[in-house]
Structure 1
Amino acid sequence: MSAEIPVQSAGNVTRLRLRFRDWRRTRPFWAGLFTLLGGVPIAYFPYATLKLGTMSIAMATTAGAGSLIIGVLLITLGLTMWFQKATRVFAGVAAILLALVSLVVSNIGGFLMGFLLALIGGALAVSWAPARPQRGAARQESDDAPLDPAAPPAAEDSDGGRRVG
């Protein structure tokens, strides 16, 4: 490869994948996903008619409205964890409390599937902390400005590079 040949740019799929990876790493992504997925069975099972062979099972009870509210709130909290990462602790605690309430209100928490997913998602949200910025990316100062204004000027190497003393 010569210097005259331009470097091929990454394709659209690769670029989108890298942008999604950067977005995912700056927020409690897995906590939001587990919480969102936990709300689906909690809201779905009270309104579903399940078929086992020729026998149909309807789980519709008076708690159907409560199950729907809990499921929709868990889905909303999962999306909140993704797009409002500053409220992750509140959303995590609320997800844990709604998961516990779903045990009583909505068919043992969506047959324990929704309960466990929402509980894990809430715990992940509460325990998530933003990553520290990388050392190289945090320093964007020019070479002429000292790193610390109170520090003495940096000594230069024999090759002209700067050294922090």
Structure 2
Amino acid sequence: MLSAVAESPRPVPRRSFRAWRARRPFWGGLLLALGGGEILLTEKASLKVVMHIGMQGLAGYLLPVLMALLGLLVLFNPTQRLFYSILGVLASLGTWVTSNLGGFFIGLLLGVVGSCLAFGWLPDQEPRVSRRKRRRQARALAEEAGASTV
């Protein structure tokens, strides 16, 4: 009775998260959203740290919020990733002028790198095989070739 319960297929949260992550540009969306969050946090810093809020004040808060929103949209709607990533790059570069030099360069770089990762993600690409697995396969093929010649 106990073995039947142990053998029942139950979704493991880590495996299901990995499967969900593999079907979308996860790191690109995450970095874009983190870049927007970092820029928002630098604007909440004390007046001694903040260089300037930016042109017209509202744009300094609007662009990082847009970056965070675009990062989440890349994660949850990967079919439109090209459009979102182009807007993400433009918003990230816009924060250079409007939001403390793009969150002291950190948020700007996170946003640009995340947008580039989302733009370059290919949904039809085969999963990468680790170097260890490739070496193991090569050894197995070499052993088979050596055994067949003897």
Give the shorter-chain TM-score range: 0.7 to 0.9
CA contact (8 A) 1:96 1:122 kept: yes
Q: Using CA pairs below 8 Å that are at least 6 residues apart, which structure has the higher relative contact order?
A: 2
- In the alignment, the residues of structure 2 paired with residue 104 and residue 98 of structure 1 have an alpha-carbon distance, to the nearest angstrom, of 11
Percentage identity across paired residues of the two chains: 35
14, 27, 35: which is aligned to 1:38?
A: 35
**1:65 positional shift:** 2.0
Superposed counterparts of 1:1-165, under 5 Å: 5-6=3-4, 8-9=6-7, 15-49=12-46, 56-59=48-51, 61-63=53-55, 64-132=57-125
Higher fraction of helix: 2
**What TM-score, normalized to structure 2?**
0.72
- In the alignment, the residues of structure 1 paired with residue 33 and residue 72 of structure 2 have an alpha-carbon distance, to the nearest angstrom, of 7
CA contact (8 A) 2:86 2:115 kept: yes
- In the alignment, the residues of structure 1 paired with residue 89 and residue 115 of structure 2 have an alpha-carbon distance, to the nearest angstrom, of 5
| Unaligned segments of structure 1, at least 5 residues | 51-55, 135-165
| Unaligned segments of structure 2, at least 5 residues | 128-150
- In the alignment, the residues of structure 1 paired with residue 24 and residue 52 of structure 2 have an alpha-carbon distance, to the nearest angstrom, of 37
Paired residue type of 2:53: T
Paired residue type of 1:27: R
Higher fraction of strand: 1
- In the alignment, the residues of structure 1 paired with residue 9 and residue 93 of structure 2 have an alpha-carbon distance, to the nearest angstrom, of 45
How many residues matched? 125
**1:117 positional shift:** 0.2
Paired residue type of 2:6: Q
- In the alignment, the residues of structure 1 paired with residue 86 and residue 113 of structure 2 have an alpha-carbon distance, to the nearest angstrom, of 11
RMSD: 2.7
